[in-house]
Chains A and B, each alone.
Chain A
């Protein structure tokens, strides 16, 4: 039994889940900063990204060492490769949280309708749910849960379209247009976080089935899940 190797693998996976928990925290912070126009909180979210990056780098280094020294194969190899990908997806999610935090500081002093902010709250909550499901499906090696992420992502995509429609209704005023532009990017960031959660689900599927496949494929829309 390669005890050290197994311990190293376990450590990598637990660091990955730690990173996931930090991403959830960053996302909640970014959403609150946006809703409450709390610039201090936004700055905290931005600074907090270092914590995520630290985990990201430590996982990259750990994977590098494992590949160089232990030459993993079979399910071990798939786990190491999946960790490598999931790590990158989580780090990207954290970057989108930073983007939202930065955008929340740049909005001009306008008062859009509360419906507008509710749209973001809906998207944000769905993102949080997706990240949780993605991480849990990885931890529990749960293919069904991983595949369910596609349906949840469609809801985010729909919410994203609604937000864009509302932005178009914001009016002609210069400040509103500027606000609208920033909010398109917020919406887009949340939508991308959802996509990365789906990508994590795909890594879970790869880990469990050894098949490389995309859950959805824009080039072949009918081939989903096949």
Chain B
């Protein structure tokens, strides 16, 4: 019979268990966005409704879901990009560090400076590589030590080594993957706190995609990253937290809703909601 307190003296080094990929426990998380009962309508159409969730600092949060479920609408509501869409109306609250970004007197330009965005298609200006990155700081009056700022942004975006000898060349001469990293450099040159990435790798080949994913991983110590992706495996690979949006059909009206929001590990191994399970295992439709 074994007793409860058996100690066997063994002379072995303690085993370290890798915890690097573990998502911080809820108590260690710092809330950056607190979204409450968010609804976005375009004229008579409700794109999303009843969305409640928190987005945490220095983590990668991914949004997945079928086409038209409102995930892009959602991410665009985090930096008031929907303001630019005629007929768009936002209800509910998007609290950024406790402040409602849709509140009275809030300047959307200042919101977008702190919360940068990168889109699906790389959209560099038809200017030089240098000018693309320097454009934001110039507009915002951050003209001091501009060269250093451009170099730092390009370095952070893992592009510096590839372009340092041709900064004056057109940005359009870069490959698709390089252009997307240039857009990330352009976004971080103005030192935002949050990076919103809307399908950043969907137009890229696997190698460029891997570079973007690696970059996200490197950037999260400094930025809070929110990504919308069609590619479920990409969410599984890069995200700490994953949110699943789906379409609810009621009386012929289709509305995007948040179904489940969880640690990525949990969402892809043991989702709580059957709709999530059906989507991630490919049993939808």
Mark A residues whose CB is within 8 Å of B: 1-2, 5, 71-78, 210, 218-219, 221-222
Docked-complex contact A73 and B2, CB < 8 angstroms: no
Find A2's partner among B2, B4, B270, B282 (CB 8 Å cutoff): B282
- A77 proximity list for chain B (CB < 8 A): 268-269
Q: Does B285 contact A (CB under 8 A)?
A: yes
Chain B nearest Cβ from A212, distance in angstroms? 11
Q: When chains A and B are docked, how far (Å) is the Cα of A2 from the Cα of B283?
A: 7
Q: How far apart are B114's CB and chain A's nearest CB, in angstroms?
A: 34
Q: How far is the CA of A115 from the CA of B185 in the complex (A)?
A: 82
B147 to chain A, nearest CB (A): 44
Assembled-state Cα–Cα distance A221/B5 (Å): 11
With the chains together, A219 CA to B270 CA distance in Å?
28
Residues of A within 8 A of B280 (CB): 73-74
| Binary interface encoding of chain B residues 11-27 relative to chain A, with 1 for a CB under 8 A from any of its CBs, else 0 | 00000000000000000
User: In the bound complex, do residue B2 and residue A75 qualify as a contact, i.e. CB atoms below 8 Å apart?
Assistant: no
Q: Known: A1-B283, A5-B282. Is A74-B2 also a contact (CB below 8 A)?
A: no
The 4 closest A-B pairs by CB, nearest first: A210-B270, A2-B282, A73-B268, A73-B280
B106 smallest CB distance to A (angstroms):
40
What chain B residues lie within 8 Å of A76 (beta carbons)? 281
Do A73 and B236 form a contact, CB below 8 Å, given A218-B2, A222-B4? yes
Contact of B268 among A2, A74, A221, A222 (CB under 8 A): A74
Establish whether residues B269 and A210, one from each chain, have CB atoms under 8 Å apart when the complex forms: yes
Chain A: which residue is nearest B233 at the CB level? A71
Given A1-B283, A2-B283, check contact A74 B277 (CB 8 Å): yes
User: By the criterion CB–CB under 8 Å, are B4 and A74 in contact?
Assistant: no
Q: Are the CB atoms of A221 and B2 closer together than 8 Å?
A: yes
In contact, B4 and A75 (Cβ under 8 angstroms): no
Give A221's nearest chain B residue, CB to CB.
B2
Beta-carbon contact of B270 and A72 below 8 Å: no
Task: Enumerate chain B residues within 8 angstroms of A1, measured Cβ to Cβ.
Answer: 282-283, 285
User: Complex formed: what's the CA distance from A1 to B276 in Å?
Assistant: 14
* Closest chain A residue to B283, Cβ basis: A1
Query: How far is A75 from B278 in the complex, measured between Cα atoms in Å?
Result: 10
Contact A74 B233 (CB under 8 A): no
Q: CA separation between A71 and B235, bound complex, in Å? A: 13
- Chain B residue at minimum C-beta to C-beta distance from A220: B4
B192 on the A face (CB < 8 A): no
